Amino acid sequence: MRHFSLERYWQGASPVHRLDPRLKLLAALAYVLVTSSVPARGCWALLALGVLALGAALASEIPVHVTIRRSMIVLPFAGMAAVSLPFTRTGDVVWAWRPFVWAVTVTDEGLLAFASVVVRAWLSGWVGGLLVATTPFPSLLRAMRALHVPSALTTILSFTYRYLHVLVVEATRLQTAREARSAGPGGSLAWRVRVLGGMIGSLFIRSYERSERIYAAMLSRGFSGQMRTLDELTWRAADTWAALGWGALLAAIAIAGWVPC
């Protein structure tokens, strides 16, 4: 049986690990907000944001290459979202192609916008990866509840985190059963589609029945819509100083972002 887990927590006792989860969540959101608001030509601000993310990675005592490798997952999505910018933004033409009656041009402003979007997405993914690497997911959920994130959202995230691997295991069992009843990987496309549709339907029915049993079990144990835990979040003086320092740096970078390169 294959093992599947959403957990990306890196065990440690660094200063970043010891910070309050509420602070780390708000700090990551503030970083993403500042990164998104920096103008495309604010390359000095983007460089400063990269140095700030690097400093956070070093303070977390997680190997930098690990955090960078994890952040690379956002690059394909960012590239797909921004792939049209070099061809649609106005500016000085740096490359042109005229196939038949069409004209395809790439401008300098478009390339700058493309690079800016990709870099911003990568930096945001880097800090987001540091957040989940230094904070266990249950602690993140407690922080969300403490910050008054709607309980429906936190409950959905909690159940997704808890039971997604169960769905993966069920799907693996269905795939194993299909392979055990097949003479080989052959078969027409229509047969494959029919079998896949049956597997999806069976997985949906099993998931629905399991959810009904789980919900009934939770109601019998006093569940009232709120996920309760015994651990309490504690805000320390170190959290206050870290929040002030992080906020001051982000504010300075946001101001400097309007200075063009």
Position 1 scores a pLDDT of 45
Q: pLDDT tens digits, residue range 148-180?
A: 888 888 888 888 888 888 888 888 888 888 777
Residues 6+ apart with CB under 8 A from 205: none
Question: Is 227 contained in some domain?
Answer: no
Phi, psi of 231 (to 5 degrees): -80, 140
- The amino acid present at 89, given as its one-letter code, is R
Nearest to 127 by CA among 56, 22, 26: 56
Domain coverage including residue 211? 151-220
Residue linked to tokens 């403490």: 146
Regarding whether 252 and 164 lie in a shared domain, the answer is: no
Regarding whether 208 and 249 lie in a shared domain, the answer is: no
Question: Is 163 contained in some domain?
Answer: yes
Regarding whether 196 and 238 lie in a shared domain, the answer is: no
Indicate the helix (H) or strand (E) that contains 95.
strand 93-97
Position 261 scores a pLDDT of 66
Residue 113: count other Cβ atoms within 10 Å of its Cβ: 19
Question: Is 188 contained in some domain?
Answer: yes
Regarding whether 196 and 236 lie in a shared domain, the answer is: no
Regarding whether 112 and 86 lie in a shared domain, the answer is: yes
Regarding whether 95 and 24 lie in a shared domain, the answer is: yes
Question: Is 8 contained in some domain?
Answer: no
User: Which band of pLDDT confidence, cut at 50, 70 and 90, is reported for residue 131?
Assistant: very high
Regarding whether 245 and 127 lie in a shared domain, the answer is: yes
Q: Bridge-partner residues for 106, per DSSP?
A: 95
